[in-house]
Amino acid sequence: MERYKIIKEVGDGTFGSVWRAINKESGEVVAIKKMKKKYYSWEECINLREVKSLRRMNHPNIVKLKEVIRENDTLFFVFEYMECNLYQLMKSRGKPFSETEVRNWCFQIFQALSHMHQRGYFHRDLKPENLLVTKELIKIADFGLAREISSEPPYTEYVSTRWYRAPEVLLQASVYNSAVDMWAMGAIIAELFSLRPLFPGSNEADEIYKICSVLGTPNQRTWAEGLQLAASIRFQFPQSGSIDLSEVIPSASEDAISLISWLCSWDPQRRPTAVEVLQHSFFQPCFYIPPSLRFRSSGYAATPPSVGAKGAVDQKNARSTVGLLSNGRPAVNYSYWSSNTPARAAGVQRKLDLDHQGSMNPYQVPEVNHKLTKEEAMNQPWSRPPAAAVRNNGNYFTKDQSPRAPDIAEKLSQLAVGSNRSSGLSSDKFVDLKARTHGNTMKRTLPPVGARAWHAPADPFRRSYDMPGDRAFLPRKLVS
Ligand SMILES: Nc1ncnc2c1ncn2[C@@H]1O[C@H](COP(=O)(O)OP(=O)(O)OP(=O)(O)O)[C@@H](O)[C@H]1O
């Protein structure tokens, strides 16, 4: 680690704190994620999901893992540096983003998802905080929960941030797939338009309530399997009619509304795949080359953010980058440092070199001058309470202060939500996730037979949708 000069903390997640740093030799600015858990063997490290999945993915819209370093039982991931995350951008934004901006970001994200899903992975924790932005470029980060589609179900550990969590996960399906990422994207796109979370549930039951109050209660036609899932955990859906999404997201165009509705389909099987999304009319101004039509060479997929008026130019650019498109297999060259290098002597046990990803990427972020004046630094989106602190009515709580989450199934079966939904806030609003580690997953258990069923709200036919408040006042730590 002595090769890096640490500058400042830029993020504090569940599993690690993230620091901006400079490679002393090359001058390159990087983000170093220092994992909170100790790792006592190298094998433990290379088996981590974040390492396993990222080393198999090479895409201009997936954040690059450059190195993995274990030093004195502490694990460090060295990533390419990105300026801020999408949540920070939304938070500092006074007016809604234009449709062109939203389209541009989403086009890039769906290309990354298409790449990831086709390689047999799904992310499982897509949220604005995990979408990193540098100028017009956006990349998916945080593969801590990524899972191989082919891995053996049941998938039992806690998954994803509540507001973006798909209904099948909320209902504890033991088998689910990449459609959970599509659901999350629907919620994120809506939020980009309105700058408010679409389904800001204060606990899991309230999350389902929020979804029902927008989409309407699922039925045999819209999601027969969901009804069975709910019955299997003795959960009763709140009764509600649907509302027109354009009432909730008035600034979105018809195309955008149609895409969001498709993505946020109750039934995962009805949600589009990433490839289908890229062909949706919302992305008509963009230029997309389906993988089946791509020219194969030694390079990798180029994904120009080609939208709006730029579309025509970018179409041309995209054509000219065809020679760089994917051959489907990253040229992985994982070299381990030999044990007699000076770094070893300095305490570095091993370094996993992942720098294979950079050179062929036509959208490599140019080196950004990250030296900020004090005033600029104060205005940076990250000059705010750390991500680990969550806000509730103006108070910040750290995760250490947060109440422990009761068992999910028990909560779902016991929580009553409805007109007094705020009463449900206390139990799991701030969940200590320290127990969730990569190696040590927390198992869910089904509710005991005879567990109390969910009770419908006082007015079960309530059709209204409470417009979520200013997102700045909603608590952001939502994993429960
Ligand atoms: N490559 C990067 N460049 C700049 N900032 C980054 C980078 N990676 C992460 N961050 C910042 O650090 C924050 C936390 O990172 P990350 O999500 O990887 O940690 P985590 O412990 O897995 O978090 P979570 O609680 O979401 O699981 C991100 O939201 C982002 O703001």
pLDDT of residue 414: 44
113 and 195 in a single domain? The answer is yes
The string of pLDDT tens digits covering residues 248-282 is 999 999 999 999 999 999 999 999 999 999 999 99
Q: How many domains does the chain have?
A: 2
204 and 253 in a single domain? The answer is yes
Ligand 1 within 6 A of CB of 387: yes
Block residue for tokens 């090359």: 26
Residues 6+ apart with CB under 8 A from 355: 66, 67
pLDDT of residue 174: 87
pLDDT of residue 211: 98
144 and 271 in a single domain? The answer is yes
Residues 302-329 as b or e (16 or more Cβ within 10 Å = b): bbbbbbeebbeebbeebeebeebbbeee
Ligand 1 within 6 A of CB of 14: yes
49 and 107 in a single domain? The answer is no
Q: 324 near 351, Cβ under 8 Å?
A: no
The string of pLDDT tens digits covering residues 355-400 is 343 333 222 223 333 333 333 333 332 222 233 333 232 222 222 2
The string of pLDDT tens digits covering residues 403-419 is 233 344 444 544 333 33
Where does a domain end: 27, 46, 80?
80
20 and 115 in a single domain? The answer is no
The string of pLDDT tens digits covering residues 310-358 is 333 333 333 222 222 222 322 222 222 222 333 333 333 445 545 343 3
Considering only CA atoms, which of 80, 143, 133 is closest in space to residue 108?
A: 133
pLDDT of residue 270: 98
Measured in angstroms, how far is the CA atom of residue 297 from the centroid of ligand 1? 33
| Residues 15, 362: Cα–Cα separation, whole Å | 31
Residue with CA at minimum distance from ligand 1 atom 4: 82
Q: Does residue 402 form part of some domain?
A: no
Ligand 1 within 6 A of CB of 161: no
Measured in angstroms, how far is the CA atom of residue 178 from the centroid of ligand 1? 21
Q: Does residue 343 form part of some domain?
A: no
pLDDT above 70: residue 94: yes
Q: Does residue 447 form part of some domain?
A: no
62 and 104 in a single domain? The answer is no
Block residue for tokens 């950004």: 368
Which range of residues forms the domain containing residue 10?
4-80
71 and 94 in a single domain? The answer is no
Where does a domain end: 46, 80, 114?
80
Which CATH number belongs to the domain containing residue 53 in this structure?
3.30.200.20
Q: Does residue 208 form part of some domain?
A: yes
pLDDT band at 175 (very low <50, low <70, confident <90, very high): confident
Which CATH number belongs to the domain containing residue 109 in this structure?
1.10.510.10
Q: Is 310 annotated as a binding residue?
A: no
Where does a domain end: 288, 314, 348?
288
Average pLDDT over residues 446-468: 33
Average pLDDT over residues 183-191: 98
The one catalytic residue among 12, 73, 125, 470: 125
Degrees, nearest 5: CA angle 234-235-241: 145
pLDDT above 80: residue 12: yes
Q: Does residue 283 form part of some domain?
A: yes
Q: Does residue 189 form part of some domain?
A: yes
Instruction: Give me the chain's average pLDDT, please.
Output: 68
Q: Does residue 265 form part of some domain?
A: yes
Active site residue 314: no
The string of pLDDT tens digits covering residues 122-142 is 898 999 999 999 999 999 998
Retrieve residue 344's tokens.
């070893």
Question: How big is the chain, counted in residues?
Answer: 480
179 and 270 in a single domain? The answer is yes
Considering only CA atoms, which of 22, 62, 23, 25 is closest in space to residue 361?
A: 62
50 and 115 in a single domain? The answer is no
75 and 89 in a single domain? The answer is no
Ligand 1 within 6 A of CB of 35: no
97 and 73 in a single domain? The answer is no
Measured in angstroms, how far is the CA atom of residue 142 from the centroid of ligand 1? 6
130 and 267 in a single domain? The answer is yes
